[in-house]
Amino acid sequence: MRTTPAMVLDAPGRPLAARQIELRDPAPGEVLVKVSACGVCRTDLHVADGELTQPKLPLVLGHEVVGRVAAVGTGVDRFREGDRVGVPWLGATCGRCPHCLASRENLCDAPEFTGYTRDGGYAAHMLADARYVFPLPDAYDDAHAAPLLCAGLIGYRSLRFADDAHTLGIYGFGAAAHLIAQLAIWQGRRVFAFTKPGDAEGQAFARSLGCAWAGDSTQLPPEPLDAAVLFAPVGALVPAALRATRKAGIVVCGGIHMSEIPAFPYEVLWGERVVRSVANLTREDAERFLALAPQVPIRTHVQTWPLGEANEALAALREGRVQGAAVLLCP
């Protein structure tokens, strides 16, 4: 048994507490990771604020984890000590439920999630199931690799469900949007960015990445959308996005939590429009996206804080003061 410094959530609504936590040796099939960087995701806010209601407590948040393997448990042959790896949100699956058996492990009936049901990366060390750990592309340093592991992976899965949409709207231009906009533009799509009203800085950021248009989420785009992806957790954006899409358009809800969707007239859904959600990720998503990111290349824009200032990083994200992605640097 060893101890490691960590920022710990004792109960929703409370600030994270800095303390030493006990960490056992890796069990069979696990790796011990020496953390160097961990992204601060909006899902962490949902957990810390109590909007996701069943976390393990006390809990170490963080599921965009970059580090090096410090020790391996028996039976692990994918990694050796010193390998640089990433640990994402999906921490383990049962492998036995109907969804797992149908190659839909993202919908597993008995999953584990990093930084939610098992301790995550707001710490100097963490344990992970080696089957759900991935080597990272050399093109990214640790801080810039971290956002790929959730903002990138969930964004990639969301973009896949937009099918072959040529005109694509992205609502909520934060960590996931700034990565997936680059991929969509590289694929030849025209991207329209929607930000919170009055966010001129965010709109300028979107245009600097190559978006064809950027405006308030209250506006209609200059032309109808083939598809829209919603990263902002605002239910009222669902009918707004439906109104912005053409017939047979697709609205993809990419977040794990969203405020209540208000009633809307059937006419904005009619015309074979589709609304769908995205849940978690699969290992295939991770392998494909992590191989694709350096080909584009996707550039991650990050703001960093030391691990001990995790509460400040969460506050900045909550208050909309992060352009791109927030990342903690671990000792």
Largest Cα separation within the chain, whole Å, is 61
Separation of alpha carbons 178 and 151, rounded Å? 9
Q: What is the pTM of this model?
A: 0.94
Percent of the chain topping pLDDT 70: 100
Measure the CA–CA gap between 208 and 210, rounded to whole angstroms: 5
| 217-234 residue pLDDT tens | 999 999 999 999 999 999
Confidence of residue 253 (pLDDT cuts 50, 70, 90): very high
**Start-to-end C-alpha separation, the chain:** 20
Mean pLDDT of the chain: 96
Is residue 190 classed as helix, strand or coil in its secondary structure? strand
**Which residue from 289, 328, 282, 27 is spatially nearest to 135, judged by alpha carbons?**
289
Q: Using one digit for the tens of pLDDT, what is the confidence trace for 119-145? A: 999 999 999 999 999 999 999 999 999
Q: Per this entry, what is the length of the chain?
A: 331
Q: Does 242 have pLDDT greater than 80?
A: yes
pLDDT at 1: 74
Cβ atoms of residues 172 and 238 within 8 Å: no
| Cis bond upstream, residue 265 (ω within 30) | no
Average pLDDT over residues 15-22: 97
**Residues 300 and 175 sit within 8 Å (Cβ to Cβ):** no
pLDDT of residue 152: 96
pLDDT band of 171, cuts 50, 70, 90: very high
Q: Which residue from 272, 318, 283, 307 is spatially nearest to 104, judged by alpha carbons?
A: 283
pLDDT of residue 99: 98
Per-residue model confidence (pLDDT) at position 236: 96
Residue with tokens 């469900």: 161
User: Mean of the pLDDT values across residues 15-30?
Assistant: 96
Per-residue pLDDT for 2 more than 90? no
Report pLDDT for 164: 95
Percent of the chain with pLDDT over 90: 98
| Domains annotated on the chain, with CATH | 2-149+301-329 (3.90.180.10), 153-277 (3.40.50.720)
Which pLDDT does position 331 carry in this prediction? 77
Distances (CA, A) of 326 to 24, 39, 104, 312: 29, 6, 30, 10
Segment 277-329, tens digit of pLDDT:
999 999 999 999 999 999 999 999 999 999 999 999 999 999 999 999 999 99
Q: pLDDT tens digit string along 88-122? A: 999 999 999 999 999 999 999 999 999 999 999 99
Q: Apex CA 238: angle with CA 276 and CA 40, to 5°?
A: 80
Q: What is the mean pLDDT of residues 56-83?
A: 97
* pLDDT exceeds cutoff 90 at 260: yes
Average pLDDT over residues 151-173: 96
Q: Compute the average pLDDT of residues 26-50.
A: 97
DSSP string, 225-291: EEEEEE-S--TTHHHHHHHHEEEEEEEEE--S--PPPPP--GGGTTTT-EEEE--S--HHHHHHHHH
Residue 68's pLDDT band, with cuts at 50, 70 and 90, is very high
